[in-house]
Amino acid sequence: MMLSDRAQVWWIVPPGQRMRHAITESPGARPGGDRVSALCAAEVKIPYETWPASREPRSRAITDRCPECEQRVDERLELDADLVVRVWDS
């Protein structure tokens, strides 16, 4: 099975926030600032691209995760051991 055929979850840091939320839409498929629903049902914005691209994103240092999103990810992993969980820093 190709990786793109597998269910995926991304941990993102929405602009202006200090905590990661989990989403099921690929953040790279949407423009920065678009609103999407996190697994906790909160509406969050897709992060903006880091500029210049050679600079390390500030979000990389953020490790705190939304507890409700984390619980939802754990529940999904119990149902689907092939779920791909990624961290997105742009």
Q: What is the pTM of this model?
A: 0.89
**Which of helix, strand or coil describes residue 19?**
coil
Quickly state the pLDDT bin for 4 (edges 50, 70, 90). low
Mean pLDDT of the chain: 92
Q: pLDDT higher for 2 or 24?
A: 24
Q: Which residue's structure tokens are 């498929």? A: 29
Predicted local distance difference test score (pLDDT) of residue 64? 98
- 10's CB contacts (< 8 A; 6+ apart) are 22, 23, 24, 25, 26, 27, 86, 87, 88
Surface-to-core class of residue 53, CB atoms within 10 Å of its CB (0-12 exposed, 13-18 middle, 19+ buried): exposed
pLDDT in tens, 63-79: 999 999 999 999 999 99
Predicted local distance difference test score (pLDDT) of residue 2? 44
